[in-house]
């Protein structure tokens, strides 16, 4: 038996333990809903995980009943809705059947994606010589179990509520660990050179620019600006002069004060003059886009700049996130390239992008059983 066959056999064994699936092998049995590279996903496995999704949905929405849609006629689903949700009991069977079908499509899409993706990870792991031992899976499971379920009784209750078995949970942990190892193989390392390059290209993000507080009087004519300047030189307050002469509604009632301006925020002519002017010196008039300015810089907050060493932790975190996203996208492309063409789904179960030829259904607003 080849390594690939042994890994697929192990995956089949999982389904046998979990839901007593039979006939897992190179052929495609009549009760399969999909096939991945000659390995079927049986209807029995599908139905087991459909129940898991239905129960998990009910657990996540306290008070909601467990609705298990049963295609193609959905008679049991309709009966469940009418029994568990009196407010919907009088709705026509046609509408409830449509709603049950919509729920089935949603649940089935989740199940098909989960099961097919599980095969894809297993197959890709064999292809890339990635291994996860049973001991590693068990250790990760025991660690998570201890943190989330202080007692065995609580864990057993969780299994009952969600319809899962211990083998189901271990399989989930196995797939997660395979994904992590496969991602590690396509994730680029973050080098000091990459950090320095990012720092150089985004240096402004690791500091603050110089800020200036400026008092201004904006007038429509040069003569008005000169009159305002003379008034200020004679000792009149900015409050009085701005109120009398300024045509700027945003500053005329605040003594002409604009605070914390960075270069580029002001009228270009005023911006250039203000950011080269000394502090506490009355200047102008200068002509701008909106009229004539008389101004005085009243305060300067110096620019700051983090060093490369200071910025490194944030840069590393940023690059880690970028690399993680890039690795996930690359792995997804590899999985599709290697296994999508080797995957087939029965038309009535082709409810996920993991099935070739999948077409997204048109969305519609309906009453959802249990919703």
Query: How is 252-282 classified by DSSP, letter by letter?
Result: TTTTTEEEEEETTSS-HHHHHHHTTSPBT--
Phi-psi domain of 129 (left: phi exceeds 0; alpha: psi -120 through 50; beta: other) = left
The span from the CA of 21 to the CA of 135, in Å, is 25
Place of tokens 């080797």: 342
Give the list of residues 6+ apart from residue 285 with CB closer than 8 angstroms, or none: 219, 222, 225, 226, 229, 292, 293, 294
What total of structural domains would you count in the chain?
A: 2
Beta strands at 32-36 and 343-345: parallel, antiparallel or unpaired: antiparallel
Residue 309 within a domain = no
**238 shares a domain with 298:** yes
Among 302, 333, 361, the domain-final residue is 302
| pLDDT for 362 | 66
State which residues form the domain around 139: 3-188+325-349
- The SS3 call for residue 299 is strand
Q: Give one DSSP letter per residue of 7-26, joined into a string.
A: HHHHHHHHHHHHH-----SS
Pairing of strands 207-208, 32-36: unpaired
Please tell me the predicted confidence (pLDDT) of residue 24. Answer: 38
In a shared domain, residues 8 and 87: yes
In which residue are the tokens 């250790």 written?
139
Distance CA(367)–CA(320), nearest Å, equals: 43
The whole-number pLDDT of residue 18 equals 31
For residue 246, give the 3-state DSSP assignment.
coil
Q: What are phi and psi of 283, to 5 degrees?
A: -130, 165
Helix 3-19, helix 93-127: angle, nearest 10:
150
Backbone angles phi, psi at 65, to 5 degrees: -80, 165
Give dist(CA 340, CA 38) in Å, integer: 13
What CA–CA distance (Å, rounded) separates 239 from 216?
A: 11
35 and 78 inside one domain:
yes
- Is 237 found in the same domain as 168? no
> Measured between alpha carbons, how far is 121 from 133 in angstroms, rounded to an integer?
15
Structure tokens at 205: 């993000």
> Are the C-beta atoms of 252 and 224 separated by less than 8 Å?
no
> Alpha helix locations (H) across 61-215?
75-84, 93-127, 134-148, 152-162, 166-186, 192-201
Which pTM was predicted?
A: 0.69
Low-confidence ranges of the chain (pLDDT < 70): 1-29, 361-371
Instruction: Indicate whether 369 belongs to any domain.
Output: no
26 in a structural domain: yes
Q: What is the pLDDT of residue 371?
A: 28
Query: Do 11 and 117 belong together in one domain?
Result: yes
Could you write out the DSSP letters of every residue in 27-91? S--TTEEEEETTEEEEHHHHHHHHHHHHHHHHHHSTT-------TTT-HHHHHHHHHH-GGGTTS
DSSP 290: S
| pLDDT at 29 (0 to 100) | 57
Q: Are residues 163 and 291 in the same domain?
A: no
Q: What is the pLDDT of residue 7?
A: 35
Q: Do 28 and 93 reside in the same domain of the chain?
A: yes
Contact (Cβ atoms closer than 8 angstroms) between residue 207 and residue 57: no
Q: How many CB atoms lie within 10 A of CB 359?
A: 9
CATH number of the domain enclosing 269: 3.10.50.40
Could you tell me if 150 and 266 lie in one domain?
Answer: no
Pair (48, 161) in one structural domain: yes
């Amino acid at each position: 038996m080849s390594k690939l066959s042994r890994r697929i056999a192990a995956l089949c064994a999982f389904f046998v333990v979990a839901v007593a699936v039979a006939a897992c092998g190179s052929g495609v049995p009549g009760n399969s809903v999909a096939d991945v590279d000659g390995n079927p996903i049986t209807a029995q496995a599908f139905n087991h995980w459909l129940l898991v999704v239905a129960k998990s949905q009910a657990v996540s929405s306290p008070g909601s009943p467990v609705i298990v849609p049963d295609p193609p006629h959905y008679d049991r689903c309709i009966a469940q809705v009418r029994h568990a949700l009196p407010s919907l009991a009088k709705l026509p069977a046609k509408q409830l059947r449509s709603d049950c079908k919509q729920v089935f499509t949603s649940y089935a899409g989740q199940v098909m994606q989960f099961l097919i993706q599980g095969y894809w990870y297993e197959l890709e792991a064999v292809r890339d010589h990635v291994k996860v031992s049973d001991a590693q899976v068990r250790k990760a499971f025991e660690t998570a179990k201890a943190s989330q379920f202080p007692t065995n009784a609580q864990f057993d209750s969780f299994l009952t509520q969600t319809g899962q078995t211990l083998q189901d949970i271990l399989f989930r942990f196995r797939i997660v660990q395979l994904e992590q190892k496969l991602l590690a193989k396509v994730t680029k390392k973050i080098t000091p050179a990459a950090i320095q390059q990012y720092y150089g290209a985004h240096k402004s993000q690791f500091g603050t620019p110089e800020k200036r507080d400026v008092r201004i009087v904006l007038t429509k004519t040069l003569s008005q600006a000169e009159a305002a300047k003379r008034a200020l030189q004679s000792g009149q307050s900015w409050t009085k002069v701005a109120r009398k002469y300024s045509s700027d509604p945003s500053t005329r009632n605040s003594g002409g004060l604009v605070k914390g301006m960075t270069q580029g925020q002001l009228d270009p002519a005023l911006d250039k003059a203000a950011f080269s002017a000394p502090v506490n010196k009355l200047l102008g008039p200068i002509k701008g886009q909106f009229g004539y300015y008389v101004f005085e810089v009243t305060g300067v907050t110096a620019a700051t700049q983090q060093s490369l060493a200071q910025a490194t932790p944030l840069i590393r975190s940023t690059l880690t996130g970028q690399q993680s996203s890039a690795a996930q996208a690359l792995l997804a492309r590899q999985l599709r390239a290697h296994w999508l063409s080797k995957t087939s789904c029965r038309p009535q179960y082709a409810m996920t992008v993991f099935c070739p030829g999948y077409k997204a259904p048109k969305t519609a607003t309906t009453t959802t059983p249990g919703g």
